[in-house]
């Protein structure tokens, strides 16, 4: 495992309630290194943070780690299946049925 990917997993596992669900993949293309992060749906808020500050801080730290290896590192956070974003987009009929 590369240092940037190891750093990301270490930092994210320290933040979340379900560290066993943390998955990262590393791909290299013409734009640099892309790290893709998948976490448990309940942990998305902790990774994003208030106004996206936690995700922004992770991206900044990954760029610093990448500079040490002369690589441009980007972070993509995948929305998990069943995440809150999917739950927020309910129709009126669905809300009424829940009542």
23-82 pLDDT, tens digit per residue, is 999 999 888 999 999 999 999 999 999 999 999 999 999 999 999 988 999 999 998 666
Predicted pLDDT of residue 1: 83
**Cβ contact 45:80 at 8 Å:** no
* 13 or 89, which is more confident: 13
Q: Is the pLDDT of residue 83 over 80?
A: no
Domains of the chain: 3-98 (3.30.300.20)
The pLDDT value given to residue 30? 86
pLDDT of the residue at 8: 95
């Amino acid at each position: 495992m590369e240092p940037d990917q190891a750093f990301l997993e270490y930092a994210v596992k320290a933040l979340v309630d379900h560290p066993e669900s943390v998955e990262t993949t590393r791909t290299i293309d013409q734009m640099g290194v892309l790290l893709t992060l998948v976490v448990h749906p309940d942990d998305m808020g902790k990774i994003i943070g208030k106004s996206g500050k936690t995700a922004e801080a992770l991206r900044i730290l990954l760029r610093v780690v990448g500079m040490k290896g002369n690589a441009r590192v980007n972070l993509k956070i995948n929305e998990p299946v069943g995440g809150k974003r999917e739950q927020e987009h309910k129709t009126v009929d669905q809300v009424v049925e829940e009542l």
